[in-house]
Structure 1
Amino acid sequence: MRVAVVGYGYWGPNLVRNFSAHPDFEVAAIVDANESVRQRASTEQRGIRVVADFEEIARDASIEVVAIATPVATHFSLASRALLAGKHVIVEKPMCASVAECQELTAIAHRANRVLMVDHTFLFTGAVQMIKQLAQRRELGDICYFDSMRVNLGLFQQDVNCLWDLAPHDLSIIDYLLEDEVVGIDASSYCHLNPGFPDMVYVTLHFARNTVAHLNLSWMSPVKVRRIAVGGTKQMLVWDDLDQDQKIRVYNSGIEYLPADQRNSMIPQYRIGDIYSPRLPKTEALAGVVDHFSRVIRGDENSILSPERGTKIVRILEMTQKILDGAPTAGRQVREPRS
């Protein structure tokens, strides 16, 4: 399948490299409106056509797949034109700038009978796949909480705030692992550089099955941290994505109470057990995304990066943004409408 990669900024070169390495794909074109970026692409990707006008790609019947890595405000326009031209599409996160755009884009994909996927790359990391296996095998027990810290000094974005830039990673991971519905949201934000454009955001999500997830998101931290703690009734774990040797540590620890008729007080019993670090595969997550995309197009797998999942993430982002903007429905009483 011949592929056009649209956008050759930060993520575009990674897409070109991974699509080029897959036996089912051939990168035939790169599209970017910026002349200096096109010159760089021509130098780095010799033999691949580099163009400025997306319509040239949309009209090219030999292009079967379009991968979009452009600012979120352009996702709907580019993806819809590609789908209407009969091409399969994978688009970077977040899927679109609004739920309405997501829903319309999903409908276009269904009518065109084309595959539309959202590149939530973290779902194909060895760490997330391992946590999913632990959860499915019930080794963690019932998941009680997620506590995520995703902070760094920058990178400041011009088209989205800190929430829309960083939260999609955590939201996609939590949605994949929990398969549950958000029933309440608490959120607060702080704007240190640009008024009305948060660079620090704190979000707490309340789920139907009584799980809670807390997200600490920031472009203002002096150090880079990518860490998630997952607490279960049987075991707990910490995933430190920057630790190259032991990304996941599983703790056989917890808190237990005696039955009410056997205790004289509410003092819990603390269980402190062993710690182990499971071995994780070293494969690149984006290579897994590209392979999954191929299998979904061929009809061999159901998508875990579906537009319905992408819409769910944008719905949570949109609701949280309303809270940060001071909407009258803000607070824990907000309930997520079901798709």
Structure 2
Amino acid sequence: MVRVAVIGAGAWGFNHVRAFDQLTDCHLQMVVDKDDKALARVTTSFRDVKTEKDYRPVVKQKDLDAVVVTTSAESHYEIAKAALTVGKHVLVEKPLVLRSDQGEELVQLAEKNGRVLMVGHLLLYHPGVRKLKEYVDSGELGQIYYMYSSRINLGKVRTAENALWSFAPHDISVMLFLTETMPDLVLATGQSYINPGVEDVTFFTLHFPNNVMGHGQVSWLDPHKIRKITVVGSKKMVVFDDMESAEKIKLYDKGVDALESYDTYGDYQTLRIGDIIIPKVQMSEPLKNECQHFLDCVQSGKKPLSDGWNGLQVLRVLEATQKSLEERGKPVQLKP
């Protein structure tokens, strides 16, 4: 039984409270938030859970095993460091922190103290993304050419972070997961329309080794709500659409290597258009999968899928992409 405290009970933090409360090998010991209304909501919904307004005495409790940090990103470093320093396991929401030097410090601190540091890259625990990975790893898609993602909707407009930092960690984490490597070159462009200096829309491109390219669009200023990732290979292509209720994965048997020549336009059509396969994906809630994975890692000592190093890699890509964004699309190289 892992004894857990959740620090941050806002909208997303409350979902973590619910998830951990429902898991059988977890005792949700404490919920921390500065806001009285947030704590009142917790006590109304979870009557047996204790609440506190200051995280500092909570992380020092000797009968506490793990801390979940779901506060605003600028506070992640301070809280996670305090928890790791006193020997607590830590699950921190994405992004890990806002500066890679701080991320490196947390990763090293976790390793020094022998504690789990995990980052909440939610999509890595989505059954649909796991299916994407299965297709990539099996070779069924052939050689991976490129991938692209759209994460757009109308609202909620942020003021503390731009669309890149708010949305792109999801897509970047998936691209790193699928390729199992870091990009060596990134570039991004975007524009702010509502709040000066806070980009409402960003387009970014990641260049990976072996000529693999990833492209993404993120925005909270769009008439459509789209959550989609497409992977194009030499043999087949696959689309993950998280807005679909049932058909989240579609595998397109399309490619350009089936025939080297053709005599008629009909043959050409046959070459370009094949079957569409909709595999059965056993769905489960990604957040509960993520929280359960954290508990499993705490109890077994195994390395999390989205451990601190993984979170640090995503952060480094974000930093490079932000630099390119500020320089109006100038390519930025990442060090190996």
TM-score range, shorter chain: over 0.9
Report which stretch shifted further, 295-304 or 305-314. Answer: 295-304
The 8 Å contact of residues 72 and 159 in structure 1, kept in 2 or not, is answered as: no
Q: C-alpha offsets along residues 7-40 of structure 1, whole Å, 9 cap, x if unaligned? A: 0111112211221222221101000011221222
The 8 Å contact of residues 235 and 257 in structure 2, kept in 1 or not, is answered as: no
- CA displacement at 1:59 relative to structure 2: 2.1
Q: Which runs of 5+ in 1 are unaligned?
A: none
- Separation (CA, whole Å) in 2 of partners of 1:86 and 1:158: 34
Q: C-alpha offsets along residues 150-170 of structure 1, whole Å, 9 cap, x if unaligned? A: 101111223211000000000
2:79 paired residue number: 78
- Separation (CA, whole Å) in 1 of partners of 2:54 and 2:301: 33
- Code of the residue aligned with 2:145 in structure 1: it is C
Could you say if the C-alpha distance between residues 28 and 204 of structure 1 is closer, same or farther in structure 2, counting changes exceeding 3 Å? same
- Code of the residue aligned with 2:139 in structure 1: it is R
The 8 Å contact of residues 73 and 159 in structure 1, kept in 2 or not, is answered as: no
2:333 paired residue number: 335
- CA displacement at 1:65 relative to structure 2: 0.7
- Separation (CA, whole Å) in 1 of partners of 2:285 and 2:31: 22
Q: C-alpha offsets along residues 45-72 of structure 1, whole Å, 9 cap, x if unaligned? A: 2111111010120221111110010100
Where do 1:201-216 residues align within 5 Å? Answer: 201-216=202-217
Q: C-alpha offsets along residues 84-119 of structure 1, whole Å, 9 cap, x if unaligned? A: 111100000011011111101111111111100001
- CA displacement at 1:257 relative to structure 2: 8.4
**2:87 is the alignment partner of 1:55:** no
**Percent identity of paired positions between Structure 1 and Structure 2:** 34
1:193 paired residue number: 194
- Separation (CA, whole Å) in 2 of partners of 1:118 and 1:76: 12
1:166 paired residue number: 167
Structure 2 SS opposite 1:20: helix
Report which stretch shifted further, 13-22 or 274-283. Answer: 13-22
The 8 Å contact of residues 180 and 209 in structure 1, kept in 2 or not, is answered as: no
Q: Which runs of structure 1 show a deviation greater than 2 angstroms over 4 or more consecutive aligned residues?
A: 256-259, 268-271, 298-302
1:32 paired residue number: 33
- Separation (CA, whole Å) in 1 of partners of 2:17 and 2:315: 26
- CA displacement at 1:331 relative to structure 2: 2.6
The 8 Å contact of residues 152 and 217 in structure 2, kept in 1 or not, is answered as: yes
The 8 Å contact of residues 116 and 301 in structure 2, kept in 1 or not, is answered as: no
Q: C-alpha offsets along residues 63-82 of structure 1, whole Å, 9 cap, x if unaligned? A: 11100101000000000000
- Separation (CA, whole Å) in 2 of partners of 1:56 and 1:35: 18
**2:101 is the alignment partner of 1:90:** no
TM-score by length of 1: 0.93
1:100 paired residue number: 101
- Separation (CA, whole Å) in 2 of partners of 1:112 and 1:323: 36
| Bigger share in helix | 2
TM-score by length of 2: 0.94
- CA displacement at 1:238 relative to structure 2: 1.4
1:324 paired residue number: 325
